[in-house]
Amino acid sequence: MNSEITLQFLSEPNDVNYGGKVHGGVVMKWIDQAAYACASQWCQSYCVTVYVGGIRFIKPIHIGYIVKTHAYLIYTGNSSMHIAVDVFSKNVKADEFVKNTHCIVVFVAVNNESNSIAVKPFLPETAKQVALKEYAVKLMALRKNVEDEMKPFFEDTIS
């Protein structure tokens, strides 16, 4: 099974924000689409997004630029898949892509009853993949700390 996927397309005029660049929400949609394609390809099942974090907008994307979203598996739990996504863009006349955005998306594989199901483990094969797995593990610990801090604000009611 393939642990990565790359999607390429042109940014379009309807992607524009008030500043004349691609809207951040549009970039987030592209990230989710690429990450979902990568995760579902890995687990060969439907999966749901359970976390999106660490999104970093590095440089704006211009309208009419070629956009490349590269999503790649960096860690698996019992039913979860941690996908890193890098977004790049370039002017059609340019030779090189520049990195615009990076983030991590976590999916859980589910069955038809929306219950989580096991996924095949991802076994890093390169030094970079090992480093990315360690990165994912560190991020999980950080997320746990943030979640603990936010628990008082998870109330279901508004007073």
**Band of the pLDDT at 134, cuts 50, 70, 90?**
very high
Give the DSSP letter of residue 59.
S
Burial of 138 (0-12, 13-18, 19+ CB in 10 A): exposed
| pLDDT at res. 145 | 79
Q: CA 98, CA 138: separation in Å to the nearest integer?
A: 26
* Encoded tokens for 17: 């924000």
Q: Tell me the residue ranges of DSSP E strands in 23-147.
A: 47-57, 66-76, 80-90, 98-109
- Other CB atoms within a 10 A radius of the CB of residue 137 amount to 12
Count of residues in the chain: 159
**Which residue, 83, 136, 143, 139, is CA-closest to 108?**
83
Write down the domain spans for the chain.
Answer: 4-153
Return the CATH superfamily for domain 4-153. Hotdog Thioesterase (3.10.129.10)
The pTM score is: 0.89
**Band of the pLDDT at 143, cuts 50, 70, 90?**
confident
How many percent of the chain have pLDDT more than 70?
96
Widest CA span in the chain: 56
Rounded average pLDDT over 120-138: 93
